Structure formats: C-alpha cells, structure tokens
C-alpha cells in the first residue's frame, strides 16, 4: 500500500514515517508534502499511484478539506485519512463528508495508526495480529456484532441462542460466571437545533470509536455497539465472584469509566452528551429489561439534567403523579387568550416551577404539557380559530418534539413558543373580526410606529371624531391607543435587541423615541429590565 503523508509540521511527517516503517513492508511511504497543493501535484505525477493520503486538516495554501475535494477529480481511487487535534472535531465531520475513510488524533498512536490502515486495507481483520483463517473486514465484523447483541437488547425473535453463543465465544461471559450491566450514550438535540442525518451518523461513529478505544485500554470486559436509533449502547460483563450480599461493584467499576468517556467526548463535541447507566442482571435473557431501564433513565435527564452520567437508581426519588392545582390550566389558557406576553411568560414560569418542585417522572410531565396544549386547542376551536393556524393538530409530531427536549429549559421554551403561536393566531383572528376602521388603524400604526403618530391623526384618517375613535379603539383592542403604540414599539425593539448588537440609541430612534434615556425608562417600566439586561437575557437563553 503506497502512502503519502501531508502535514505542515515536519516532526509530524517524520514521526508518521517512522511509525509506518515499523508496521511492516506492506506499507510504503512514497512521499511527504507540507500542504495540499504539493500533495495534489504529487498525486498527479506519481507512479505508482498513491493508495492512501494521510493529511492534516489545517494547513496553509491548501488545507486538507480542499485537498480531499480536489483528489476526487485528480485521483478518484485514492483513499484518505485525516489528522486532527483535540477540539477540531468539526473539521473531522466535514472531512468525513468529503469522503475521508477515517481519522487520527494528535499525538498519533502507533496502534491506532495500525488499526486505521488495516481497516482501509481490503480484507484485513480488525486485529492485525490475529491468525484467524477467515479474514473479515472490520466494518463487517461490527455489523455482525451489532446485529447479534442488539437482538438481545430488543428481544428479537430467535436472537437469544445466537447471542448467548457469541458472547461466550467473544467475551467468555455466561450466566454461570458473569452478571450484566448496560449503558447508553446520546447527543442531546432540541427541536430548534436538530442535527442532520449525516452529522448524527458522524457523531455516533465518533462516540463508538472512542468508546471502543477506551474499552480496549481498560480492564473492563464489555462491548460498544450502534443501536438502530443511532444511540451508542454498551453491554458490560461483570464476574459474579466480585458480587456478594454486601458488595455491588458495578457502580464502583463502571461509573468512573463512563465519566472518563464523557470527559473525553466533551473535548471534541460542543453538544451536551448524556450517558445512562442501568442496574445489573444475572441472566442474559433479561438484557431487554436493561434496555427499558436505559430508556427511562435517558428520559429522566429532563428532570435530573443533561451532560452527565445518570444511574437508573437515581430515578427512585421521582414521582409518577402530581395533583395539578385546580386553577393551573384555566389561568394558563386565559393568559393565551389575553394576548399579553408578560402574563403568558409569568404563567408558564409558574406552571413549570410547580412541576419541577414536584419532581415528576418525565412521562408524567410530558403528559401534563400535552393536556395543556390540547386544552388551548379546544379553546381556539370554541372561539372559531382554527388550531391549524398555530400548528396544533398533529399531536404525534408535537409529542415527538416534546420528547426531543433533553433539558427542562428547552422543554419550557418549546411549550412557551407553542402557546405564543396560539396567542398570535387568536390575536390575528380578533383583528379580522374587528370593524374596518380598527383594522385600518392597526395597519397604519404597524407601518408608521417609528413616526410621531397621534390619536387625532389616526382618527382623521378614518374620518372619525377623536374622542369616539379613542373609545372604540379601547373597546375593540382591549387597550388604549397610547398603550398600544407603546406595546408595538417595544415589541419591535425587543426583536432588534434579541437579534444583534445594534446600539440602544439607534434602536430607540428606529422605534420612535427621540432619546435613548426616555426609551430605556419606558422599556424598564413595561418589560421590567433595561434594554441591555434584556439583550443579555436573550443571549443566555440562546
């Protein structure tokens, strides 16, 4: 196999060449280049052809990502491995999208280099020192292992005997000699920040690979695998001789390993990661029960927090039921109807605060939220407002989106956004039901809120007496003209504050205030904080 090394650090190139020389005659370094441009030129003229390019991702002139794209045209049969440092996993993700076969982390480990090259070399087994008569490509062995062991977790028909034999052969574990524990690792997404299918695949590939490497360096007997839903699962085999009536070694043995794994992954991935950890079972036939425990534990991160290792035992203190305060739902529904954002925020905060204090099981919390949203949907129908206007008809999708919220803050934010959409739909319906002169006034204010609009001006545009217009405006809008003008201006200001870094004095002018001091005074009176405090609060939310 002909190898080309591409890195702008001479020491890295020399170290790689030295390691490769120790791996045997089957790997030959045919060239070294300091950047992508040199490498591309080398591949164009090289005879014999380069089989594998090992390249850094960050270099001057032409980086590794650009090199991978160009190689598709110049040398489409050449395969690639990328080199990255800690904290550069985003580059690795992009490189894998460009077709890289695998990656190496600096400082490069000789055994890992050997494993990666063996994986690329067609027909090589994962353990290149093994003397098995039948050579199985590593990725095929992983697929076979995942199918067999996942069949135990999922209780697939006919999977037990095959799984029992496989685990005894590969790990030396059986019901007579071992007990079993399980773990699951997930990346925490949210409805507003969903990973693409490709990114999710790359993340889980990285999680699994890191887990396998750490297990190989650990005395723990276990296996990491990919579940059908993308979750990385673990099955651990614990000697029964370590257990007695007073000793439960699973937590003492496995928790430090899982916490170390989480710490390693945190260095590469910006998203929160949660690892769930089960109890132990003494029968392989009960592995599916560990799977149920892992699912319950992962749901519990909603209450117990994310970006940590959570044991199934910690769920014992959570409650299944909560007696909802009689006035809770009516107050919340009324706040949606009232079209006052501050009141809606207050009621949602109070509702979630009460649920959090009750320490409900996640399923019970989600059930309450769905009941609340259904109550709002019913209220909208009674008012003649279509729930479709607020996208509150597909309850299967809403349920899935609620389950995707890994933290309490995200769940509250999602619920508030749903209720805010419903409130906006109600407001729009009300506007459509109002007299023509009210609709005209609202539209005029919406276009000219930054100008010095007066009640008399808007009344005259509708050929009405100012006093009569003022009375009718308050009757139909449930707010007087001056307060409505203030509300519109402050709503526009909040949008600008949340989106960017415009100076407050510029925003105040854009929304109709002559001085920033007056604007800040009004803002604090209505919103309860200064404009800058509001901006900082929105940044923290994001």
* CATH assignment, 434-541: 1.10.10.60
164-178, 247-261, 449-463, 468-482, range with the lowest pLDDT: 247-261
Once rounded to an integer, what is the mean pLDDT over residues 138-162?
Answer: 79
Once rounded to an integer, what is the mean pLDDT over residues 28-34?
Answer: 92
Q: 157: buried, middle or exposed (CB in 10 Å: 19+, 13-18, 0-12)? A: exposed
Q: How much is the pLDDT for 476?
A: 83
Q: 118: buried, middle or exposed (CB in 10 Å: 19+, 13-18, 0-12)? A: buried
The rounded distance, in Å, linking the Cα atoms of 169 and 391 is 53
Q: Which residues, 6+ apart, have CB-to-CB distance to 283 below 8 Å?
A: 175, 180
Residue 318 backbone dihedrals phi, psi, to 5 degrees: -80, 150
The domain 2-120 is placed in CATH, from the list 3.30.300.20, 3.40.50.2300, 3.40.50.300, 3.30.70.100, at 3.40.50.2300
Helix (H, G, I), strand (E, B) or coil at 384: coil
Q: Which CATH class is domain 138-317?
A: alpha beta
Q: How much is the pLDDT for 247?
A: 63
Q: How much is the pLDDT for 107?
A: 67
Once rounded to an integer, what is the mean pLDDT over residues 467-492?
Answer: 90
Residue of 326, 351, 495 lying closest to 411 (CA atoms): 351
Once rounded to an integer, what is the mean pLDDT over residues 32-40?
Answer: 92
Q: How much is the pLDDT for 34?
A: 92
Query: Could you tell me the sign of the dihedral formed by the alpha carbons of 179, 254, 186, 261, in that order?
Result: negative
Residue 138 in this model has a pLDDT that exceeds 60: no
Once rounded to an integer, what is the mean pLDDT over residues 133-141?
Answer: 47
Once rounded to an integer, what is the mean pLDDT over residues 235-262?
Answer: 84
Mean pLDDT of the chain: 83
Q: How many CB atoms lie within 10 A of CB 80?
A: 26
Q: How many CB atoms lie within 10 A of CB 410?
A: 20
Residue 60 backbone dihedrals phi, psi, to 5 degrees: -75, 170
Once rounded to an integer, what is the mean pLDDT over residues 53-64?
Answer: 88
Contacts 24+ apart (CB under 8 A), 323-326: 324/368, 325/354
For the chain, the domains span: 2-120, 138-317, 339-432, 434-541
pLDDT digits (tens, 9 = 90+) for 82-130: 887 644 666 776 787 788 888 887 767 777 888 888 888 753 333 333 4
The rounded distance, in Å, linking the Cα atoms of 18 and 110 is 10
Q: Say if CB 55 and CB 81 are below 8 A apart.
A: yes
How many H helices and E strands in the chain?
Answer: 23, 10
Helix (H, G, I), strand (E, B) or coil at 426: helix
């Amino acid at each position: 196999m002909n190898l080309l090394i591409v890195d702008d650090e001479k020491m890295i190139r020399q170290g790689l060449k030295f390691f490769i020389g120790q791996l045997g005659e089957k790997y030959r370094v045919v060239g070294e280049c300091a950047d992508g441009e040199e490498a591309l030129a080398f591949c164009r003229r090289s005879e014999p052809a380069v089989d594998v390019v090992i390249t850094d991702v960050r270099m001057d002139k032409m980086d590794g990502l650009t090199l991978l794209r160009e190689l598709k045209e110049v040398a489409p049969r050449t395969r690639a491995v990328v080199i990255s440092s800690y904290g550069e996993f985003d580059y690795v993700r992009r490189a894998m999208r460009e077709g890289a076969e695998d990656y190496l982390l600096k400082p490069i480990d000789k055994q890992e280099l050997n494993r990666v090259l063996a994986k690329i070399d067609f027909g090589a087994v994962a353990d290149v020192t093994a003397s098995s008569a039948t050579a199985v490509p590593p990725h095929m062995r992983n697929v076979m292992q995942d199918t067999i062991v996942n069949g135990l977790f999922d209780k697939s028909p006919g999977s037990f005997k095959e799984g029992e034999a496989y685990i005894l052969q590969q790990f030396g574990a059986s019901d007579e000699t071992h007990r079993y524990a399980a773990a699951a690792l997930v990346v925490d997404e949210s409805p507003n920040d969903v990973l693409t299918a490709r990114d999710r695949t790359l993340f889980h590939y990285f999680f699994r690979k890191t887990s396998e490497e750490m297990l190989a360096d650990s005395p723990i007997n276990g296996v990491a695998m990919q579940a059908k839903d993308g979750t990385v699962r673990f099955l651990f085999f614990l000697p029964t001789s370590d257990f007695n009536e007073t000793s439960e070694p699973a937590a003492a043995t496995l928790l430090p390993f899982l916490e170390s794994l989480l710490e390693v992954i945190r260095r590469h991935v910006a998203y929160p990661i949660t690892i769930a950890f089960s109890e132990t079972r003494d029968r392989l036939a009960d592995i599916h029960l560990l799977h149920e425990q892992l699912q319950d534990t992962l749901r519990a991160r909603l209450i117990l927090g994310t970006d940590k290792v959570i044991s199934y035992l910690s769920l014992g203190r959570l409650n299944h039921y909560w007696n909802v305060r009689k006035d809770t739902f009516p107050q919340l529904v009324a706040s949606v109807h009232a079209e006052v954002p501050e009141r809606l925020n207050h009621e949602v905060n109070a509702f979630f605060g009460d649920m959090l204090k009750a320490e409900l099981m996640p399923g019970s919390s989600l059930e309450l939220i769905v009941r609340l949203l259904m109550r709002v949907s019913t209220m909208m129908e009674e008012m003649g407002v279509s729930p479709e206007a607020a996208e509150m008809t597909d309850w299967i999708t809403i349920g899935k989106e609620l389950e995707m919220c890994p933290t309490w803050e995200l769940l509250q934010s999602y619920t508030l956004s749903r209720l805010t959409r419903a409130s906006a739909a109600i407001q729009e319906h009300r506007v459509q039901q109002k007299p023509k002169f009210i609709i005209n006034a609202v539209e005029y204010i919406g276009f000219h809120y930054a100008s010095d609009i007066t009640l008399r001006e808007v009344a005259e545009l509708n050929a009405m007496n100012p006093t009569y217009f003022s009375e009718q405006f308050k009757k139909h809008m449930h707010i007087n003209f001056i307060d409505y003008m203030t509300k519109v201006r402050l709503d526009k200001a909040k949008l600008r504050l949340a989106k960017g870094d415009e100076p407050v004095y510029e925003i105040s002018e854009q929304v109709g205030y002559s001085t920033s001091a007056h604007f800040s005074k009004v803002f604090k009176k209505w919103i309860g904080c200064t404009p800058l405090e509001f901006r900082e609060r929105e940044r923290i939310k994001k």
